Structure 1
Amino acid sequence: MASDYRVGCLEDLGQAVGSQGLVAKVVQTRSGPTFLRVVNPEAGSLAEDVTCAPAPGTPEHYYWWSWGERMHRVDDPGGAASKLAHVLQPLPHEAHGSRS
């Protein structure tokens, strides 16, 4: 079970991503880590599960990408939300062979 502090940090991030046009929900499982599911409602296949945990060997907590890389400090949920918005942005459609 995640600590109240970690859940609070994930909830803060959930509110911050809402201002970026994303939707988020804290998910608490019985056997796995608590995480924040973030989805781009414009493109439902663009989603990310973010966890909150201390960095190894330190008491400092960070947000972590689903692949285990440290994303951002928890004391700046707005900065983390900006990173998520960038990653969950659909790529623009490229022209498929224009004719002259």
Structure 2
Amino acid sequence: MATQAPSGHLEELAGRLSREGIYTRLEEPLGKPPILHVLNPQLPAAEEPVIVESTGDEAWFWWAWAERIAPARDLDTAVSGIRRVLGLAA
């Protein structure tokens, strides 16, 4: 069940990505959903925003262009998808 706050899911993902050497920046604007910016450390201009949305009982990580990355409970798949989009080898 998706009971964790969106920022909690993004913080968990940010920690995992940081351990993988991927730069992250969590933005929590007032009155708006949080956004995790993920950056390729070899090419900082390669930055993409990741958001979290709940669909029914499950939270999902999404790209800003409305494409699902992975369920929030599946950090391995999320990290793999983010690495692919940022152009980083698995």
Q: What TM-score, normalized to structure 2?
A: 0.84
| 1:97 corresponding residue in structure 2 | none
Deviation, structure 1 residue 75: 0.5
Aligned to 2:12: 12
- Separation in 1 of the partners of 2:8 and 2:63? 17
User: Does structure 2 conserve the Cα–Cα contact (< 8 Å) formed by 1:20 and 1:85?
Assistant: no
In the other structure, the counterpart of 1:28 is 28
Unaligned runs of 5+ in 2: none
Query: Which of 70, 73, 86 is matched with 1:72 structurally?
Result: 70
Asked which structure has the greater CA Rg, the reply is 1
Q: Kindly, what percent of the aligned residue pairs are identical?
A: 27
Give the Cα separation in 2 of the matches to 1:46 and 1:40.
6
1:15 to 1:78, Cα distance in 2 relative to 1, 3 A: farther
- Which amino acid letter does the alignment assign opposite residue 84 of structure 1? I
3-state SS of paired residue (2:64): coil
**What TM-score do you get using the length of structure 1 for normalisation?**
0.76
Partner of 1:82: 80
Name the structure 2 match of 1:95. Answer: none
User: May I ask how many residue pairs the two structures share in their alignment?
Assistant: 86
Measure, in 2, the Cα distance between the counterparts of 1:17 and 1:78.
Answer: 10
3-state SS of the aligned residue for 1:49? Answer: strand
Moved more, 23-32 or 63-72: 23-32
**Shift in Å, 1:21:** 2.0
